[in-house]
Amino acid sequence: MIDLQNVSFSYGREMILHQVSCRMANGEVVSLIGPNGAGKSTLLRLCARILKPLEGSVLVDERPAGDYPVKAFARQLAFLPQSRPTPAISVRSLVTLGRFAHGKGDREAVEAAMQTVGIASLAERDMRTLSGGQRQMAYLAMLLAQESPNVLLDEPFTHLDISAQLDVARVIRQMKDAGKCVVVVMHDLNLLEQVCGRAVLMDSGRIVYDGNAADCLRSNALQDAFGVRILENQGISFAKR
């Protein structure tokens, strides 16, 4: 569970987040949406302790995030940033690194994570030889192997084709079913309803909508935040064949 209480943040004099409060529970997938520069990724990085809040507090499982030792925090919360280098190691080695905070490789957890995500057949492949979608799945397996009850994903659908996007959506639902608290920053609103039940819409560093994802898509807040008009009955949805 992640609880943000009146969190503000600035880069120098430029305020990025203004007194943001939000509580995200276990067994829930929450998507952070909003226009570019709304503060979504900043919020995620504050939850992940990459950044420190200017004001307010971030609680992870009822305890201030800053109070956890580094490895203990990794066992509570896993974060996948949007951009990252591709290491010259095998998929299995990558997934094994998810066990770093546990102090041992734990082969069973690694194999189970690869099975869950559906990349067991790629275990010995070099990460550099995989497609973008396969790499993303390998990183998701690493996150699963970390066995943290809270998971943060920053734009996990970016640059993926529709099939790979649906694979990622499936893994996110599996995380939810396993009782994890999953927070996803996403831009593709077509996937919103498939991925999560709750949407938090941000604009200019403030939360302007927090509620049902389907309702969010038809809300005035969404139209105002993005400066767009919703065309009724012209939504697009996809299903995996």
Number of continuous H segments (helices) and E segments (strands) in the chain: 9, 10
Return the residue of 34, 39, 53, 98 that touches other proteins, per CB under 8 A: 98
Closest separation between CB of residue 193 and other proteins, Å?
28
How far apart, in whole angstroms, are the C-alpha atoms of residue 85 and residue 11?
A: 25
Closest separation between CB of residue 212 and other proteins, Å?
30
- Site size toward other proteins (CB under 8 A) is 30
How far apart, in whole angstroms, are the C-alpha atoms of residue 83 and residue 203?
A: 23
Closest separation between CB of residue 101 and other proteins, Å?
3
Name the DSSP letter for residue 191: G
Name the DSSP letter for residue 63: E
Nearer to other proteins, 130 or 217 (CB): 130
Return the residue of 14, 85, 227, 229 that touches other proteins, per CB under 8 A: 85
CA distances from 37 to 146, 162, 190, 225 (A): 30, 25, 20, 11
Return the residue of 36, 70, 229, 232 that touches other proteins, per CB under 8 A: 70
Return the residue of 1, 15, 54, 97 that touches other proteins, per CB under 8 A: 97
**Of the ranges 73-81, 106-114, 205-213, 218-226, which one interacts with other proteins (CB under 8 A)?**
73-81
Element (H, E) at 215: helix 213-217
Q: Tell me the two tokens of residue 174.
A: 């599996």
90, 180, 105, 120: which is closest to 144 by C-alpha?
180
Q: Tell me the two tokens of residue 39.
A: 């503060």
Return the residue of 61, 126, 188, 210 that touches other proteins, per CB under 8 A: 126
Nearer to other proteins, 100 or 226 (CB): 100
How far apart, in whole angstroms, are the C-alpha atoms of residue 185 and residue 199?
A: 10
Region 131-150 residues binding other proteins, contact defined as CB under 8 A:
142, 146
| Residues that bind other proteins in the complex, under the rule CB under 8 A | 45, 48-50, 70-71, 73-75, 77-81, 83-85, 87-90, 93-94, 97-98, 100-101, 126, 142, 146
